[in-house]
A and B are shown apart, each in its own frame.
Chain A
Amino acid sequence: MFRLIALVVVLGGVACFAQAIRFEEIAAKSGLRFELQNGEAGGFHQIELTLGGVAALDYNNDGCTDIFFTNGAAIPSLRKTGQKFSNRLFRNNCNLTFTDVTDDAGLAGEGYSMAVAAADLDNDGFTDLFVAGVKGNTLYRNLGNGRFADATSRAGLAGVDPAFGPRWAVSAGWFDYDNDGWLDLFVANYVVWDADKEPRCGTPERQYYCHPDAYRGLPNQLFHNNRDGTFSDVSQASGIQSHIGKGMGVSFADMDGDGFTDIFVANDSVRGLLFRNLGNGKFEEIGLEAGVALREDGHAIAGMGADFRDLDNDGKPDLIVSGILNDSFLLFRNLGGRSGFEDYAQRTGLLMSTRQLTGWSLGMYDFDNDGWKDLFFALAHLMQLDRYLGRESALPNRIYRSVEGKRLDDVSAGAGPALQMAAAHRGAAFADFDNDGRVDAVVSAVNGPAKLYRNITASRSHWLAIRLRGVKSNRQGLGATVHVRLADGRDLYNHATTAVGYASSSEPLVRFGLGASPVADLVEIRWPGGRVQKLTKVAVDRIVDVTEEVEP
């Protein structure tokens, strides 16, 4: 009898904290008015498909996360010929409203922008921006007074390569590959493209966007931070440049626990690349050996977004990759050490349930704070395919709830009306914009209004966010892994990264849903390089600022 009562109490407790994930869309009412313009004019230019990066960053350090949108340009000039093509920065007023501060910040930009990577590259405490694009990238240094300065030329990051000329970058990310305390830059390049040489596909009556096979792939780039505002192109010396791909999403994690951050690049219709950081400035590409290069049947999916996080809380970062219709999204479970990864999409139910989807950005976050990271996908089929698919190319976004890291249930239908609204979604960034402890999402849509999904999950679950301040490590602690132990013995894992999804950049905070636990017994931070710092009996439902302890 006692056992039965105990069981009821335990199950009752679990049920109490497992609430349906719900979002409301509040972009318009919060003043977040942005329309992503791809400049299409009937030319079926490949670049029209792939833009839309978004960043969630706190550029003014007021504790409220702001939003930066990249935007397209006219074609073929690739010029931002009007304000409609302007990149935009929206300041979060800390009351769920946003103010467009683009002009004040000096961030309207130029060229056909694709992606954004946000991080504090010069360790001055202010988040800087790298905007990647077609035939040109821009580095903006945050001056700390609300303004940004174009630091591209001085930094040597314009995107013009001696061998390949100006490239088309689709994603970028900041990480400290050599653990020297300064963030380095990885740029994922897509294909060789020129408006004048755009291949024609289909018939004159039924033209469509060409398959990526019609374009030559490009190598990615790695730039080492010289700590003085300049960067050195180490693409060749590091081994990164030896591998040609058609880069889309990029994500980082220390996959093998050796203290050095590794890189995954999702490629479009060619195999994915996994660069193992050897710790000596060089990388070894091990996608084939690790089992993450291709779908299980050897098919190269149209890889788009990626996130490299620990889904099943076993301390080893797993990998999710979105793809195109009939690809199925890929989910790989990290087996640890040098054992590589196993296909986890089928076992969790993700394989078949994503087969009819086309996914762009994505994020692996614990949206209901139950202690298990869920999945959010920004979706849309390729434009102009409606007639072939027999359905609209616009799609509603989807959310998958993790059931203890073992099953992923599509809970979109019950996630509120906002999750039922279709659009040509692209970029997505994740942060807690209203500081209520629930992770929200901002999503761009091609030729349509951006969406701000406020997480309104009616959960009483506890949460904890760790805001790292590196001293020896990079200022934001990117690359640090955080382990939380709960009173019930459960272990949770996450790490600090802003490189999440597709062409986008998310908040650097390391978040945890704690379920019913009113305290975190242990918070263990492993800083880049392996130094460990521990906090005990940490009070929850708050952001905890942790400054790196450095031995004198």
Chain B
Amino acid sequence: MGVLAGLLLAGADPASPGKLTYQKANDLFVARKFPESLAAVEEALRLDPNLVPALTLHAKLAMAANRYDLARQSLERALKVDPGASYAQFLYGMEAWMNNDMKAALPRFRRARELAPRDPRAALYLGLVTESVGKPADAMTLYEEAIRLERAAGQPQAETLLPGARLLLLLGRLDESGRWTRDAVKLAPKLRDAHFELARLLLKMGEPAQAAAEGELALTLSEGAVRDNAIHYLLIRAWQQAGKPDRAAAHAAVIRAQER
């Protein structure tokens, strides 16, 4: 969700009769004043129904409110006005992705990649969709491209590294997964997802004590999407294998307590 919020907060290109009103709406959006932003962007669209940045912002607000149907309408209108609007195209892909509509997401993200070949987000999300439809090798190429673009721009992100790290782990390419994961940990030492992935890797590599240490660290971190129970489950196995059944039992007890 953090990644989505970041994506929604990014990118705009104002220029039209409703420009000033749109600008105000965008400022309010950045300030997370969403109801006020919505009122302003609707006013901007009243002034200029074809203002692409306003349509795009309207879509972002709709997606933030889980109104993907409205988001789709705004984005389709924006892309009709300007088929080359790369950010609107990317969000159009996101709309499908968030609805698990892989059939629609795939061509939308492909088009987004064509429109913005240097945008790592389009590569990353096209990679995620490609992995979802069962093409891991192609997905891995896209993850590599996404991180290459971020590195070229001097802004590598842990969130971009982790999908590749996870896929490499699934494919049994542990050494490569380890490189990606450790890079993610370096980039975002307070991100629980990175430490969790490192713990998974260490457990698979037969290092249960280190895996347990990473897992315990992950549990203390609040930033990230990995659920507590996933970490507890890993820690049960890590502590068991590390010869500390009492510590394993404590984590099992936490999960069971939540189930009652």
Across-interface contacts of A299 in B (CB, < 8 A) = 230
- What CA separation (Å) do A390 and B109 show in the bound complex? 15
Verify B249–A289 contact, CB threshold 8 A: yes
**Given A298-B230, A352-B171, CB of A289 within 8 Å of CB of B240:** yes
Verify A352–B252 contact, CB threshold 8 A: no
A sample of 17 more A-B contacts (CB under 8 A), given A288-B255, A291-B237, A346-B170, is A244-B259, A289-B240, A289-B249, A293-B233, A297-B234, A298-B229, A298-B233, A298-B234, A326-B132, A356-B133, A387-B101, A387-B103, A388-B99, A388-B102, A388-B103, A389-B102, A389-B103
Q: How many Å from the CB of A344 to the closest CB on chain B?
A: 13
Select from chain A the residue with minimum beta-carbon distance to B172: A346
Judged by DSSP, the binding face of A is loop
- What CA separation (Å) do A126 and B231 show in the bound complex? 49
Across-interface contacts of B102 in A (CB, < 8 A) = 388-390
**Given A289-B240, A388-B99, CB of A297 within 8 Å of CB of B200:** yes
Across-interface contacts of B49 in A (CB, < 8 A) = none
Judged by DSSP, the binding face of B is helix
For residue B100, CB closer than 8 A to chain A, the reply is: yes
Verify B240–A352 contact, CB threshold 8 A: no
Residues of B bordering A, CB below 8 Å: 69, 99-104, 106, 132-134, 136, 166, 170-172, 200, 226-227, 229-234, 236-237, 240, 248-249, 252, 255-256, 259
- What CA separation (Å) do A107 and B31 show in the bound complex? 67
Across-interface contacts of B248 in A (CB, < 8 A) = 289
Verify A356–B249 contact, CB threshold 8 A: no
- What CA separation (Å) do A356 and B104 show in the bound complex? 17
Q: Mark A228-250, 1 if CB is under 8 A from B, else 0.
A: 00000000000000011000000
The contact sample of 24 A-B pairs, CB cut-off 8 A, is: A203-B69, A244-B259, A288-B255, A288-B256, A289-B236, A289-B240, A294-B230, A296-B200, A298-B226, A298-B232, A298-B233, A326-B132, A352-B136, A352-B170, A355-B134, A356-B134, A387-B103, A388-B99, A388-B101, A388-B103, A389-B102, A389-B103, A390-B133, A391-B103
For residue A166, CB closer than 8 A to chain B, the reply is: no
Q: How many Å from the CB of A346 to the closest CB on chain B?
A: 6
- What CA separation (Å) do A352 and B256 show in the bound complex? 30
Q: How many Å from the CB of B88 to the closest CB on chain A?
A: 22
Across-interface contacts of B166 in A (CB, < 8 A) = 297
For residue A106, CB closer than 8 A to chain B, the reply is: no
**Given A296-B200, A340-B240, CB of A388 within 8 Å of CB of B100:** yes
Cβ < 8 Å to B, chain A residues 354-393? 355-356, 387-391
Across-interface contacts of B69 in A (CB, < 8 A) = 203
Select from chain A the residue with minimum beta-carbon distance to B135: A356
| Residue of B133, B171, B230, B259 touching A297 (CB-CB under 8 A) | B230
Across-interface contacts of B237 in A (CB, < 8 A) = 291
Q: How many Å from the CB of A163 to the closest CB on chain B?
A: 16
For residue A500, CB closer than 8 A to chain B, the reply is: no
Q: How many Å from the CB of B207 to the closest CB on chain A?
A: 15
For residue A351, CB closer than 8 A to chain B, the reply is: yes
Cβ < 8 Å to B, chain A residues 281-328? 288-289, 291, 293-294, 296-299, 326
Verify B133–A298 contact, CB threshold 8 A: no
Q: Mark A325-358, 1 if CB is under 8 A from B, else 0.
A: 0100000000000001000001100011001100
Across-interface contacts of B136 in A (CB, < 8 A) = 352
- What CA separation (Å) do A391 and B134 show in the bound complex? 12
**Given A298-B229, A346-B170, A352-B171, CB of A289 within 8 Å of CB of B132:** no
- What CA separation (Å) do A203 and B103 show in the bound complex? 18
**Given A244-B259, A387-B103, CB of A351 within 8 Å of CB of B170:** yes
Q: How many Å from the CB of A356 to the closest CB on chain B?
A: 4
Across-interface contacts of A390 in B (CB, < 8 A) = 102-104, 106, 133
Across-interface contacts of A351 in B (CB, < 8 A) = 170
- What CA separation (Å) do A299 and B232 show in the bound complex? 12
- What CA separation (Å) do A296 and B231 show in the bound complex? 11
Across-interface contacts of A356 in B (CB, < 8 A) = 133-134
- What CA separation (Å) do A352 and B135 show in the bound complex? 10
Across-interface contacts of A288 in B (CB, < 8 A) = 233, 236, 252, 255-256
